[in-house]
Amino acid sequence: MDAAVQALLPAVSEQLDSCDTPYVRDAYERLLDEPDIDEQEAKNMIAFCLADEIEAMTLENRPFDAKRYQLLLSLLPIMPEGR
């Protein structure tokens, strides 16, 4: 697994428990409804989306875009192609 995604797993766990990011919990629960996705894979997918948004922030020199992050999460389990 990509080191950046692995490093973001604690942030994903915090987002799953936070009342400020209910869309992360919604995406997680939706992914767990998929027959071939377990808890760890769902967290990895969410971390990948978070990594993609952080990379976009860096490349575009802009703040975190929660709407873009939510869009990426809404597309799961189809994974974003990245940059």
Q: Count Cβ atoms within 10 A of the Cβ of residue 44 and give its class: 0-12 exposed, 13-18 middle, 19 or more buried.
A: buried
| Total domains in the fold of the chain | 1
pTM score of the predicted model? 0.92
Query: Token pair of 61, please?
Result: 């020199």
**Residue 34 maps to a domain:** yes
**Residue 80 maps to a domain:** no
**Residue 31 maps to a domain:** yes
Predicted pLDDT at 35: 93
Predicted pLDDT at 79: 76
**Residue 81 maps to a domain:** no
pLDDT in single tens digits along all 83 residues of the chain = 588 889 999 999 999 999 999 999 999 999 999 999 999 999 999 999 999 999 999 999 999 999 999 999 999 998 766 54
**Residue 82 maps to a domain:** no
Predicted pLDDT at 82: 53
For residue 51, the enclosing domain spans 3-75
**Residue 15 maps to a domain:** yes
**Residue 32 maps to a domain:** yes
Listing DSSP states for the chain in one string gives --HHHHHTHHHHHHHHH-TT-HHHHHHHHHHHTSTT--HHHHHHHHHHHHHHHHHHHHHHT----HHHHHHHHHHTTSPP---
**Residue 50 maps to a domain:** yes
Residue pointed to by tokens 């971390």: 47
